[in-house]
Structure 1
Amino acid sequence: MSTLFDRLDDAAAPQPPEIRPGRRIAGRVLGLYAAHGRGFETRPAASLELGFDGIPGDRHSGATRRSGGREPWYPRGTEIRNDRQLSILSAEELQALACDLGVERLAPEWLGGNLLVEGIPQLSLLPPRTLLFFASGAVLKVDGDNAPCRVAGRAVAEKTGRAEIEFDFVKRARRRRGLVAYVERPGAIGGDDRFEARIPEQWIYSAG
């Protein structure tokens, strides 16, 4: 009579995943922004002094936040860790997205961005756990891509005077909306700072 362990031994072992080594990519800050109020839109800043809560006074600062539509597994309004302290946008991705939407430009402020950067190909696809190291010693930890929403789409529609963009933005900005991150190590970021993205070893988990 076979046992569970016998059947497990007979089962084919899962194939090992493709493992890609970690790597480092250099980038540069082009602009800094903060939202010191209740509104969604950010405003230019000369520098950002980051603490463990994020940007002091910014609408997204804090060690915790309230869950929303992005976390359907919690009742809306549940207090959870704030992994969305900063919004990071790519100049290259914004330019391509503006072209696809048929508008002259997409300003980072319209999308509630905090950092506009260049030099990181496909920034929005950087994997979770990527670390961004700045010269001051500040380190940001990437939580993941920032899924586009109608709030941002509505802001772009209002700025461009094209109402249809509110919905078109959500579709076209997928995986090009930038990243959300939180402060792992406090420090200052300047408007022309260089930084290094340290991408961790990657693999796709599969149990069969």
Structure 2
Amino acid sequence: MRTIPDPAAALTPAGERIHDVAARLFYERGIRATGVDLVADEAGTTKKTLYDRFGSKDGLVAFYLGRRRLRWQRFVLDRLDGVAPGLPRIRAMYDALEEWLADASRGCGFVNAHAEIAGTDHPGLAVVHAEKAWARALYVEFSRDAGVADPEIVGTGLFLLHEGAVVASTAGGVADAIAVARQSARALIAGAVAAASPGAADSVVAEPVR
């Protein structure tokens, strides 16, 4: 089986067209509903070129998820640049999520993909799991910076608020889901900071909600 290209590497012009078309169709229509014939046709190329570049449809899906992961991570890190550690970065994560979802009509592309490829040996699963682990690790790091008593538990809780807000704002139709998650995160941090250092939570509670 051909090795899947590095998502961070540039492709040939034909490879980039194939990826761009596949990324749009996989997100808008779903992975199973999108065949390689359609991708090749809309990209103005052939199935042979697609297989030459990506090895298989599974390889193309894994590459698409890898590129999406890189794009999301760069987006988040750009929004975190220059933001103070602790609560400000936690708040900035929810701000970044809200901005990202403004252009994501079908919610989280990783969750959508997981729903279609879970329970298989699909190479894209490792990409999905790595993305979620990365986001959770950020929340744990920021919780530790905030001085909470148990950053692993609190950070995981913040990550679950993040993931729940994604589902609620799309599938659940809760328009203010991210704002509620942001406010809930502040309350969670305040309680955790108070447990670690009684009285220190007052400064957290005083933070404005956006």
Give the shorter-chain TM-score range: under 0.3
TM-score (norm 2): 0.24
Structure number having the greater helix percentage:
2
- The answer to which structure, 1 or 2, has the higher relative contact order (CA under 8 A, 6+ apart) is 1
TM-score (norm 1): 0.25
